């Protein structure tokens, strides 16, 4: 799972598990996908031991968009493994409450108190636009399942004035028509966690909430204001029709379904954050963008992967007779 993909976890599980157990249309794929399941590319790595253990690369999209393209050997490895580990324990209520607490400003503070007035006004204007547009973004399928625009908006953005600016930036980046249309079906990680629970497998997590949360809160105020401003500029340009995003969720799904681990598209799933490095930025702003990128790579890729690697190694050594299935974000492996 990507570093911030759990940010809207509570809105990704708006339906009971049973209601989401259906296989939707497969993701669009122009990669000449093999017709036989056995010939599909796989995001599965085997750790040779007895019994074997596995690494499986996941993606932060509704599972129905990719499930039919996941090879049978990956599904069989999941079924055969007695123990399934994720980045975070996605079914633990504490995880959700801890993530919510992490996003909040100190008691008594509101965004209006901390943001520059012009950015606060632009943010409020953009959220009003999203709320106005959301009913037209909803699909008939979502409405048929009892999802309504007002409820969904409040679930995602209802408490935005109490959130830290960095989390509001992530929220704004996710409040797009494409993302809204995907709500109501569990993402692949969450679906696997629900399946593991249903099959009564032993489950666990290799990370604590604080380890994913604190680095993001560690950006300094000027960096966060820069990031929020750039995110608002991007969304305002999209609304005006003067900007087209070079990659989309559909591109991400296509590359995953094609087994294209090396694709630059797939790497965007590891952050859920806009790419702030842009050659058109003034020199000082370009430096800020590079500093943010360098900090996040160091804290949420390099240090994080080293920490996870040590914990996986310790688990394998402590329980040599167990078959583990580790489901982590493909782009962060």
Average confidence score pLDDT of the chain: 83
- Tell me if 174 is assigned to some domain: yes
| Arithmetic mean of pLDDT, 144-172 | 92
- Tell me if 16 is assigned to some domain: no
| pLDDT for res 332 | 56
- Tell me if 160 is assigned to some domain: yes
| pLDDT for res 45 | 93
DSSP 97-159: HHHHHHHBPSTT--HHHHS-HHHHHHHHHHHHHHHHHHHHHS-HHHHHTT--HHHHHHHHHTT
- Tell me if 20 is assigned to some domain: no
Tokens matching residue 11: 């809105």
Parallel/antiparallel/unpaired status of strands 324-329 and 83-86: parallel
Cβ count near 90 (within 10 Å): 27
| pLDDT for res 262 | 60
- Tell me if 26 is assigned to some domain: no
- Report how many domains make up the chain: 1
Alpha helices in the chain (DSSP H): 9-12, 72-80, 93-103, 111-114, 117-137, 140-144, 149-157, 165-174, 177-181, 188-198, 209-217, 221-240, 249-257, 283-297, 303-318
- Tell me if 147 is assigned to some domain: yes
Q: Is the pLDDT of residue 138 over 70?
A: yes
Between 106-115, 168-177, 251-260, the lowest mean confidence (pLDDT) is in 251-260
Residue 45 domain boundaries? 40-329
pTM: 0.82
- Tell me if 84 is assigned to some domain: yes
- Tell me if 75 is assigned to some domain: yes
């Amino acid at each position: 799972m990507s570093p911030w993909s759990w940010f809207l976890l509570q809105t990704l599980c708006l339906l009971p598990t049973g209601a989401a157990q259906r296989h939707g249309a497969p993701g669009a794929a122009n990669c000449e996908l093999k017709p036989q399941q056995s010939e599909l590319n796989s995001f599965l790595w085997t750790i040779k031991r007895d019994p074997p253990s596995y690494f499986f690369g996941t993606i932060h999209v509704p599972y129905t968009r990719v499930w039919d393209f996941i090879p049978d050997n990956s599904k069989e490895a999941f079924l055969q493994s007695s123990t399934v580990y994720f980045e975070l324990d996605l079914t633990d209520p504490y995880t959700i409450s801890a993530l919510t607490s992490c996003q909040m400003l100190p008691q008594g503070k509101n965004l209006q108190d901390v943001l520059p007035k012009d950015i606060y006004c632009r943010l409020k204007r953009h959220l009003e636009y999203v709320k106005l547009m959301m009913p037209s973004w909803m699909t008939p399928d979502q409405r048929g399942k009892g999802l309504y625009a007002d409820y969904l908006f409040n679930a995602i953005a209802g408490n935005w004035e109490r959130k830290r600016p960095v989390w509001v930036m992530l929220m704004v980046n996710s409040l797009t028509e494409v993302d809204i249309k995907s709500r109501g079906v569990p993402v692949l990680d969450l679906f696997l966690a629900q399946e593991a629970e249903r099959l009564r497998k032993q489950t666990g997590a290799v990370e604590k909430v604080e380890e994913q949360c604190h680095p993001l809160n560690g950006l300094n105020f000027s960096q966060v204001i820069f990031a929020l401003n750039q995110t608002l500029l991007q969304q305002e340009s999209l609304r005006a029709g003067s900007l087209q995003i070079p990659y989309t969720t559909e591109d991400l799904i296509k590359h995953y379904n094609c087994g294209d681990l090396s694709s630059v598209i797939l790497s965007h799933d590891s952050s859920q954050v806009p790419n702030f490095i842009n050659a058109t930025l003034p020199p000082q702003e370009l430096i800020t963008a590079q500093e943010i990128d360098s900090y996040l790579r160091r804290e949420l890729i390099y240090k994080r992967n080293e920490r996870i690697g040590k914990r996986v190694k310790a688990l394998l050594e402590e329980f040599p007779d167990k078959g583990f299935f580790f489901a982590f974000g493909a782009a962060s492996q």
